[in-house]
Amino acid sequence: MSKAVLDAGPLIHLAELKALDVLYDFDTLLLPETVGKEVAKYQRSALKYPNLKLSQVRAPGISTDLIILAQAFSLDQGEIEALAILELYPGFLFLTDDAAARLAAAQRGYSSHGTIGLLIRSVRVRRRTPDSVLKLLKDISRHSTLHIRPALMTEIVQRLEKEWAKSGD
């Protein structure tokens, strides 16, 4: 079973795409207090989605080196709290769509993934079909606030179509 600390991006984007079910098989999803407030502001329904094992948690004290890292990467408060929680749970995944937050997480040795990875993963864990994920990816810029260069998305979709055709998924 997978465990993760969440940033606002994936929750908001998956809610916009009506695809929060891709998080069902995570048995622990920790939501830093500030991230919870951000999600409540922009996509409150995501916090009430049935069957998500979401727990809002207060971050521990922020260490000096984390403060320095946060300044260097211009992280916001939610991202800082998420990284502080990851210090307690270093084996958890960090789910974020923010490139700077992912870079900071990598610097601390944490694995991070975003909305695109979660959607593709849902086929691997047999939560969604390839067709439903390909449809979501193709429509992502129309139905969500996740911004991806169209040519890059086309490249990804073509790659996935080949991969999934090959594996018979």
Partner 1 sequence: MLNETATTITLPPRLAEQVKDYVQEGWFPDLNALIAEALRRYLEAHHSELTERFIHEDVEWGLRGDE
Give 58's contacts (C-beta < 8 A, 6+ positions apart): 32, 33
Query: Of the candidates 91, 89, 23, which has an alpha carbon nearest to the alpha carbon of residue 57?
Result: 89
C-alpha angle 43-99-135 in degrees, rounded to nearest 5: 55
Site string for partner 1, 11-50 (x = CB under 8 A): ----------------------------------------
Span of 32-40, 47-55, 61-69, 92-100 interacting with partner 1 by CB under 8 A: 92-100
State the Cα torsion 126-129-135-137 to the nearest 10°: 20
| Closest to partner 1 by CB, 9 or 36 | 9
Binding residue for partner 1, selected from 30, 116, 136, 140, defined by CB under 8 A: 116
> Judged by CB under 8 A, which of 114, 127, 134, 136 binds partner 1?
114
Q: Which of 5, 20, 31, 102 binds partner 1 (CB under 8 A)?
A: 102
2 C-beta neighbours (distance < 10 Å), count: 14
Contact call for residue 66 and partner 1 (CB under 8 A):
no
CB of 98 to partner 1, least distance (A): 6
**Site pattern 119..138 for partner 1 (x: CB under 8 A):** xxx-xx--------------
Contact by Cβ (8 Å): 80, 58: no
Instruction: Work out which of 51, 64, 149, 150 binds partner 1, going by CB under 8 A.
Output: 149
Label residue 132 exposed, middle or buried (CB < 10 Å: 0-12, 13-18, 19+): middle
Which residues bind to partner 1, rule: CB under 8 A?
2, 74, 93, 98-100, 102-103, 111-114, 116-121, 123-124, 147-149, 152, 156, 159-160, 163
